[in-house]
Structure formats: structure tokens, C-alpha cells
């Protein structure tokens, strides 16, 4: 599987974010490091903040980078969607490589959803921020 590349100077921001998330996941996988610890966690959170600032975390955004859509796009990019369909159709287990990638996506999905939830409720717990 080749790593997609985009020119960050000319590519649309959503494409840059998607490609950078992909790169963070690949680096973590290659180093056998969990996404939940730094440096992957910090890198992913910075990309989450960028996606939020660009409005990509809204369900009706033109370029949707919500947790579900982000993972769906990565699964498609990695061929996991086809591998999972084939696995079900043939009543076979996913191979170890695809299963490892699926686990990465599950971790990313959970983290991205938790950040989205916390981010959306932040002002409820920050009285000073809600007065501004």
C-alpha cells in the first residue's frame, strides 16, 4: 500500500488533513506505538483542532471529517472496506494486516469522537468563556 501524498500548498485543506492523519497512523503502526500516547496523540489532536476550525466536524459540512466519515475515508483509502466485505462474503477472518489497520481505525474513531464531544461541551464548564 503506497502512501498518498498531497502538496500542502495547493491541495484543499480537508485533503491535507486526511493525508496527515493517514501519515500519523502509518508512523504509529510502523513503530508499533499506540495512537493514545504521544507523539501520535498530540499530532492527531492538532489535526482535529484544524478540522474543527475549518468547520469540517459538522455533519452537514461540504467536506465532512467527523469521526465516522474520517474513518470511512481512511478505510476506503486502505482497501479495508473491500477487505471487510470480502471477509463477510467468503465467511473468512480478516488477515492480520487488515485487522491491525482496523484496530488503528477503531482507536482513531474513539479518540476523534471523544474530542468532538468534549469540544462541543467545553463552554458549559467554562463560565468565563460563555460570557464572552
Total of domains in the chain: 1
In degrees, rounded to 5, the angle at the alpha carbon of residue 69 between the alpha carbons of residues 122 and 93 is 120
6 inside domain: no
The domain of 57 spans 13-122
Backbone conformation region of residue 91, classed left if phi is above 0, alpha if psi is from -120 to 50, else beta: left
109 or 125: whose pLDDT is higher? 109
5 inside domain: no
132 inside domain: no
Digit-coded pLDDT (tens) for 55-69: 999 888 899 999 999
pTM of structure = 0.84
Residue-level pLDDT at 87: 72
pLDDT at 1 over 90: no
Amino acid at each position: 500500500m503506497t502512501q498518498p501524498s498531497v502538496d500542502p500548498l495547493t491541495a484543499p485543506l480537508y485533503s491535507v488533513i486526511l493525508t496527515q492523519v493517514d501519515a500519523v497512523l502509518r508512523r504509529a503502526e510502523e513503530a508499533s506505538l499506540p495512537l493514545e500516547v504521544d507523539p501520535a496523540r498530540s499530532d492527531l489532536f492538532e489535526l482535529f483542532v484544524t478540522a474543527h476550525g475549518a468547520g469540517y466536524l459538522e455533519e452537514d459540512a461540504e467536506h465532512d471529517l467527523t469521526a465516522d466519515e474520517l474513518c470511512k475515508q481512511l478505510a476506503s483509502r486502505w482497501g479495508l472496506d473491500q477487505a471487510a466485505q470480502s471477509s463477510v462474503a467468503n465467511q473468512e477472518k480478516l488477515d492480520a494486516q487488515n485487522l491491525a489497520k482496523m484496530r488503528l481505525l477503531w482507536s482513531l474513531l474513539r479518540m476523534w469522537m471523544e474530542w468532538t464531544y468534549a469540544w462541543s461541551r467545553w463552554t458549559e464548564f467554562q463560565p468565563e468563556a460563555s460570557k464572552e
